[in-house]
A = this chain, B = another copy of it.
Amino acid sequence: MPESAAAPSSAKAVTACVLLIGDEILSGRTRDSNLAYIALHLNKIGVQVREARVIPDIEETIVATVNEVRARYDYVFTTGGIGPTHDDITADAVAKAFGVGIGYHPEAVKILDEHYKATGGEFTKARMRMARLPEGATMIENPLSKAPGFQIGNVFVMAGVPMVMQVMLDSLTDRLEGGATMQSRTVTGQIGEGTIAEKLGDLQARHPEVGIGSYPYYRGKTFGTSIVMRATDLKALDIVAGEVVALMREFGVEPAMGDPS
């Protein structure tokens, strides 16, 4: 199938868990935008996010959660808690989760030292904290603000600030081995999901190889449903999408491809 760079559908699924670490997300003060960005980015290279957790800046919680999910998924991506202040405890907690020590990483120290010399900032003891990596970890480059993230085992530790997280994610992507790429089709129509639900369920039963999700939406006085189909097999996906289009037409609704406009 030359029209797609997707791995063949026989490729195995490669899974990931995202850990958003930070009291500010749990308090509602900050609305997370990292999860959606990471999920979309990873899916392009064939890594499927299967779970995400938002956990507080509490060491024992981070340690327990990292150990639970790194055993369960192929990859773990964390955001948050790697800055210079006392509440930045992710690096220490991840070191503890892996049962290794933590210390100054010579290359990270050099990068930060040069950065602060170039910008006229002071390379304080607190900022030195950002050069501390668990033993055996490798740096994840941060072209934006220099303080690196790191990888240890299958765990990738990134910053929480979205712009910085995004450049780190770019930096680490070459290290990931993707599997089957999940493709999707969306068909949207101004129809209640309860109207098509039964036939849609039949369609799902006949096509277990395609995940069919039904998402109602409301836009002022109009409403409708988006049917999202996901599969690694493009051909199966197109067949099911065609059936959904036909199903909506059966109820007198002309659907559109894509999300509601």
Q: How far does the alpha carbon of A53 sit from the alpha carbon of B57 in the complex, in Å?
A: 16
List which A22-78 residues lie within 8 A (CB) of chain B.
22-33, 35-40, 43, 49-57, 61
Within the complex, the shortest CB–CB distance from A66 to chain B, in Å, comes to 14
Chain B nearest Cβ from A68, distance in angstroms: 10
Q: Of B23, B39, B84, which is within 8 A of A230 by CB?
A: B23
Total copies of this chain within the assembly: 2
Q: How large is the interface on A (under 10, 10 to 19, 20 to 34, 35 or more residues)?
A: 35 or more
Chain B contacts of A43 at CB under 8 A? 27-28
Q: Is A194 an interface residue (CB 8 A)?
A: yes
Q: Is the CB of B24 within 8 A of A28?
A: no
Check B57 against A51 for contact (C-beta < 8 Å). no
- Name the residue on B nearest A55 (C-beta): B51
Q: Name the residue of chain B whose CB is nearest to the CB of A217.
A: B161
Contact in complex: B27, A87 (CB < 8 Å): no
List B contacts of A50 (CB < 8 A): 26, 56
- Would B26 and A37 count as touching, CB distance under 8 A? no
User: What are 20 sample pairs from A and B whose C-beta atoms fall under 8 A apart?
Assistant: A23-B211, A23-B213, A25-B52, A27-B40, A27-B182, A28-B40, A29-B36, A30-B215, A31-B33, A51-B56, A53-B54, A83-B197, A84-B194, A85-B193, A85-B214, A86-B212, A121-B192, A124-B194, A126-B201, A163-B218
